[in-house]
Amino acid sequence: LLVEKGKEQAIEMIPELPERLEAPVEKDQEIGKIRCVLEGKELVSLPVYAGAAVEAVSWDKIFLLLLQNLGTF
């Protein structure tokens, strides 16, 4: 991305990300974007990807994890 010298500090990075994500989320799944704006003009919009997978958790799994970890307190 090229801009005039001295204007690089004026670039706004505006994240567009959801407040929450529903699991499951796959690694490298697009979850939002970042807009680069200079003087009100969008220069580029870049995708944001999940860095890791997140599986959905059921109440059964939560209960099982709780039971497995009771002895670690």
Cut 0.75: pTM above it = no
Q: What is the full DSSP assignment across 1-32?
A: ----TT-GGG-EEEEE--S--PSPB-TT-EEE
Integer angstrom CA distances of residue 5 from 2, 9, 49, 52: 9, 10, 30, 37
CA 30 to chain CA centroid, Å, is 8
The model's pLDDT over 15-44, given as tens digits with 9 standing for 90+, comes to 999 999 999 999 999 999 999 999 999 999
The model's pLDDT over 40-61, given as tens digits with 9 standing for 90+, comes to 999 999 999 999 999 998 999 8
